[in-house]
Amino acid sequence: DCALKIEKAVGRMPGILWSSVNYASSLLLVEYQRGGAVSESKIIKQIHDLGYDISIPSESAKHVSKLNRRTIATILSGVFLSAALVFSVFDMESAVRPLCILSAVFGGLYSLRAAFYSLRVRSIDTNVLMVTAAAGAVAIGEFFDAAAVMFLFSLGAALESYTVEKTRESIRSLVELTPTEALVRRDGVEVSVSAADVRVGEIIVVKPGDRIPLDGDVLSGRSFVDQSLVTGESIPVEKAPGSEVFAGTINQDGALEVRVKRVSGEDTLSRLSRLVEIAQAQKAPYQQFSEKVGRVYTPIVMLFAAAIMGYAFLSGHHDFIRRALVLLVVGCPCALVISTPVALVASLGRAAKSGVLIKGGVYLEGLGRAKVFAFDKTGTLTEGRLDVVNVAAFNGDSDEVIRIAAAVEQMSEHPIAAAILRYAKSQEIQVPKAVDFKAEPGLGAKAFVDGIECLVGSRKFVEKLGLPIPDLPSSSGAKTGSIVFVVRNRELLGAVVLADVLRDSAKEAVAALRRQQVKNICMLTGDSESVAVSAGSDLGIDNIYAELMPEEKVSIVRDLAERFGGVVMVGDGVNDAPALVASTVGVAMGGAGSPVSLETADVVLMSDNLLKLPFAVELGKKTLRVIKQNIAISLSVVVLMLSTAVAGRLNLTAGVIGHEASALIVIINGMRLLRFRPKSVQRFWDFD
């Protein structure tokens, strides 16, 4: 209820457009009009007036010291209460009362202060209820019960703070691992400066074993970099000139020179951390339900307690006073209110550590409920680049076909040329030098290799030469790929078949979604029907929509959402942005290297590993189960304590224990999600 109180008070300030507080992430998110009646300092003052501290992340040490002070007060309260219990056993009643009072004072130090500030703004929260119950116990001479109430409540609050702080650390640790210093080359000299002072375009030097301080592109050097902090990939990635590197990642075995492309604070890791913190402050449907119940429940219980208290005084049944005091203790449904946010914060933190950015609990719930998935093909299910899939030799062998093709194409900038050259390198084929290269637009290219004219091009190019073209076998992939023919000295040597190959993780990702009872998996692509059907049949796709324009993809996504009650669209986050926006949950791939994806999609897979999608879906399902468990636990405890309190079978001490224990149980249950490991994706950790 402290989070709701802050949210309500800040939301009432003039000029505030929107405010949200998440108890589990300890984050206040405010949107307000700059230059208006409200300012940052006024918002901070408003929160201080409520009796709460507010600080920026760099001041986390202050939070720890405050937490320690409360822990010390709780320990002292427990010591005095234990001493009172010992003295009561030996019938030394004269010492029991002062010890109980000391225990109540130390246990209630923070609660009394919080209750004062709550009443000052005409708000009633758990602290007010607990202090009132303890004061009532003192008034009727139950000093031990008063001390027990304050000690147990303080102990529960300290334990809650400790456990929730562990959840918050899952995200806070991301930014704290980014180096604050950078080694910059200026005027030919390497100088160590603050990372915040490094400008875009400057050259930084990263030594083996160091964390990379800023995003950039490698200029020189080769090394393997541990990118797990950003992308969730457990296997280090090789970096060479032209490769992109990210702040916070670890350079392993070689020195790198990197040209900075994003300043400190705007790097991928910082933006990821900010987006996760904002996501944690968003409220999912289950959380809104819990808060609505909490707003109604507490006033009703208080009115009921007041009625019982009035009946006790009017009828002379003073034992009913104890029942009213117990009702005050159980009158705040803390466990119910925090049952959802603690699970969501843990899940969002767990996802971020595995390279999946989920921008709010509503999208996590959406993934958990989703039964229909629509995939773009190019760059999502496939690698998004052409690769050689077959080489057919008509005269000579296949190595000779590639040798000639690569020689001609080494002067070309065409994607087909790049694919042939990559293949030649992978096969360790020596490529001779070509001269007199000439591109033939729309047809191909020609050059002289070993003094002989050679051509690489389309069927039309070969037909213009009057050469017969034999049929290629169906197993060559010719029906669904691109074909270039290789000619030497007017003799057709062979053909090279190229295609956009499926990702290694695509087939298993689709199978993993099947294991999670996904009803319908679709493919949306602008490619030809033959290419789409070939890829779809290999993957086991249910419905294939081919030769689509971007607006047609949007129309199909909207239709699927209407027919099935929601749809998850998976694309690259750039070309598919309209379809992602039209879907219930939009998922973009490769977000680590794409700032646009980080902004446009609801869920971002930071690497190109599709197996992270079923991981996120299973995490969403698990989160929904944990939230339902937490709500069931908290409601059951509320009903049990209310019924026993009204029946007079629950004392103050047991009431506080039940109240605090239920809150701790839902927190610990939610925290299990920090250690979540998927079951549907058998090889996930090989790709992670």
Would you give the DSSP letter of residue 211? B
Residues in CB range of 315: below 8 A, 6 or more apart: none
The Cα 8–Cα 5 span in angstroms is: 5
| Strand 216-220 versus strand 244-245 pairing type | antiparallel
The answer to whether the CB of 656 falls within 8 A of the CB of 152 is yes
Please state, in angstroms and as integers, the Cα–Cα distance from residue 584 to each residue in 9, 372, 479, 521, 525, following that order: 32, 10, 35, 15, 19
Q: Is 376 a catalytic residue?
A: yes
Catalytic pick from 215, 226, 376, 527?
376
Beta-bridge partners for 16 = 32
- Does an H or E element contain 178, and which? none
Contact criterion met (CB below 8 Å) for 665 and 633: yes
Would the CA dihedral through 452, 455, 459, 464 be positive or negative?
Answer: negative
Q: Tell me the one-letter amino acid at 341.
A: P
Return d(Cα 53, Cα 60) in angstroms, integer.
11
CA 535 to chain centre: 30
C-alpha neighbours within 13 Å on the C-beta side of residue 142: 19
Residues 183, 226: Cα–Cα separation, whole Å: 19
b/e map of 69-88 (b: 16 or more CB within 10 Å)? eebebbebbbebbebbbebe
- Nearest CA to 377 among 583, 546, 514, 601? 546
Pairing status of strand 434-440 against strand 444-449: antiparallel
SS3 label, residue 472 = coil
For residues 149 and 659, give the distance between their C-alpha atoms in angstroms, rounded to a whole number. Answer: 11
Residue 505 and residue 609: Cα distance in Å, rounded?
6
DSSP 491: E
C-alpha–C-alpha distance, residues 504 and 381, integer Å: 9
**How many other C-beta atoms are found inside a 10 Å radius of the C-beta of residue 640?**
14
Residues pairing with 587 in the sheet: 570, 603
Query: Which pair of tokens denotes residue 119?
Result: 């009443």
Give catalytic residues, as residue numbers.
376
